[in-house]
């Protein structure tokens, strides 16, 4: 099915934003977003460089990226210069002076709600509604000089609070074989184990693969993969074409790009009916079991 997009080159209409000087509404009415078959998502650590903002913006517009989940970006008073104007929606979840995570919405047809109660300095959390489907997105920056356990606890709270499918793009500043990262750095490996425990607890899927995953290459420090893409179980099978792309921006960090398949209205309706039938059958079985157990107790 054809993707129905109206991107920043051609659309002039009222938008929501939370990045500097623009009025912010909780959501935006969508006319065509329910016809999307997939979302194109970008994940990038900007390494605090101003020139990278423009390069990433131009890349996302040219390649019709729907959402960009970014970390460690240059900002002043929550404004990211180059992403602070309509119709781009720049969502920074924190009210702090130096936020570490943001989500940029390039597809103006998406209906977005910012979850301010779950967002903080290093976490930006939103929901995207496409037709009847709601998907949560979390952008996070685990700052290297803050205890990893603090970020793990915060993400644990977020995952416990949110319902439904969730996509997490995080710069975790930690090493683990789960995201194809060399475990020779003992400190980074200890941090990685704490994140592994969270992944196991919430049954998250890590989408980093072993194809060109060395995103960061610093002279004298070697290579590493500390940018991780995770999803909850129900959405994991709908992620495709996860890859690392080199040369998009002039930074030490490469770019991550992937697709998220959107369920059709018909399929969502079918799933709803299926689970409703299972619910009633399961409830009926429990009722019959309870009645039988009560009868046995009377006999005994």
The backbone torsions φ and ψ at residue 233, rounded to the nearest 5 degrees and listed phi first, read -60, -40
pLDDT, residue 251, reads 64
- Please confirm whether the linkage preceding 87 is cis (ω < 30° from 0): yes
Q: What's the pLDDT score for residue 218?
A: 46
Q: How confident is the model at residue 79 (pLDDT cuts 50, 70, 90)?
A: confident
**Residue 159 scores a pLDDT above 80:** yes
Domain boundaries, the chain: 33-263, 264-300
Q: Mean pLDDT lowest for which of 19-33, 195-209, 263-277, 285-299?
A: 19-33
Considering just the CA atoms, what is the radius of gyration of the chain in Å?
21
What does the pLDDT look like over 102-141, one tens digit per residue? 999 999 999 999 999 999 999 999 999 998 899 999 999 9
Contact (Cβ atoms closer than 8 angstroms) between residue 73 and residue 53: yes
Distance CA(260)–CA(99), nearest Å, equals 26
pLDDT tier, 298 (very low <50, low <70, confident <90, very high otherwise): low
Q: Is the pLDDT of residue 148 over 90?
A: yes
CA distance 231 to 259: 13
Between CA 219 and CA 217 the distance in angstroms is 7
Looking at the domain 33-263, which fold is it? Deoxyribonuclease I; Chain A (3.60.10)
Distance in angstroms (rounded) separating the CA atoms of residues 210 and 23: 43
Lowest-pLDDT range, 19-23, 100-104, 242-246? Answer: 19-23
Rounded percentage of the chain residues whose pLDDT exceeds 90? 54
Of 50-64, 197-211, 282-296, the one with minimum mean pLDDT is: 282-296
| Contact between residue 249 and residue 59 where contact means Cβ atoms under 8 Å apart | yes
- Give the model's pLDDT for residue 61: 95
CA distance to 129, 135, 139, 144, per residue, from 120 (Å): 22, 19, 11, 17
Return the pLDDT at 166. 98
CB-side exposure of 187: number of CA atoms within 13 Å? 5
* Per-chain mean pLDDT for the chain: 80
The model's confidence at residue 38, banded by pLDDT at 50, 70 and 90, is very high
Mean pLDDT of all residues in 16-22 = 42
Question: Contacts for 253-256 with beta carbons within 8 Å, 24 or more apart?
Answer: 253/44, 253/45, 253/46, 253/47, 253/215, 253/216, 253/227, 254/214, 254/215, 254/216, 255/42, 255/43, 255/44, 255/56, 255/59, 256/42, 256/43, 256/44, 256/169, 256/215, 256/227, 256/229
The token duo for 141 is 């920056």
User: Does residue 173 carry a pLDDT above 90?
Assistant: yes
**Is it the case that residue 277 has pLDDT exceeding 90?**
no
264: pLDDT strictly greater than 50: yes
Name the least confident of 66-75, 134-143, 170-179, 264-273. 264-273
Beta strands in the chain, from DSSP E residues, in sequence order = 38-45, 67-71, 89-92, 101-105, 111-114, 123-130, 133-141, 165-171, 205-206, 216-218, 222-224, 227-231, 239-245, 255-261
Model confidence pLDDT, tens digit, residues 185-243:
788 899 999 999 999 999 999 999 865 555 554 444 445 678 999 999 999 999 999 99
Torsion of CA 258, 259, 260, 263, to 10 degrees: -170
């Amino acid at each position: 099915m054809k993707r129905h997009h109206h991107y920043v080159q051609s659309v002039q209409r009222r938008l929501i934003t939370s990045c500097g000087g623009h009025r912010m509404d909780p959501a935006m009415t969508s006319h065509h977003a329910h016809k999307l078959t997939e979302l194109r998502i970008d994940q990038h650590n900007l390494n605090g460089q101003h020139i990278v903002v423009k390069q990433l913006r131009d890349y996302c517009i040219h390649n019709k990226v729907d959402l960009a989940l970014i970390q460690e970006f240059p900002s002043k008073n929550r404004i990211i210069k180059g992403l602070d104007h309509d119709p781009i929606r720049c969502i920074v979840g924190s009210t702090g002076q130096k936020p570490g995570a943001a989500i940029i919405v390039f597809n103006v047809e998406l209906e977005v709600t910012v979850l301010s109660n779950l967002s903080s300095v290093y976490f930006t959390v939103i929901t995207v509604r496409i037709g009847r489907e709601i998907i949560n997105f979390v952008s996070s920056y685990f700052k290297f000089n803050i205890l990893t356990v603090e970020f793990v606890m915060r993400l644990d709270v977020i995952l416990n609070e949110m319902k439904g499918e969730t996509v997490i793009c995080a710069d975790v500043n930690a090493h683990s074989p789960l995201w194809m990262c060399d475990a020779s750095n003992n400190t980074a490996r200890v941090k990685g184990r704490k994140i592994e425990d969270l992944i196991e607890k919430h049954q998250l899927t890590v989408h980093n693969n072993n194809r060109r995953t060395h995103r960061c290459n610093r002279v004298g420090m070697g290579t590493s993969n500390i940018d991780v893409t995770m999803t909850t179980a129900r959405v994991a099978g709908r992620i495709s074409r996860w890859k690392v792309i080199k040369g998009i921006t002039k930074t030490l960090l490469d770019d991550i790009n992937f697709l998220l398949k959107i369920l059709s209205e018909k399929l969502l309706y079918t799933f709803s009916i299926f689970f409703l039938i299972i619910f009633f059958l399961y409830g009926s079985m429990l009722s019959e079991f309870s009645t039988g157990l009560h009868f046995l107790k009377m006999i005994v």
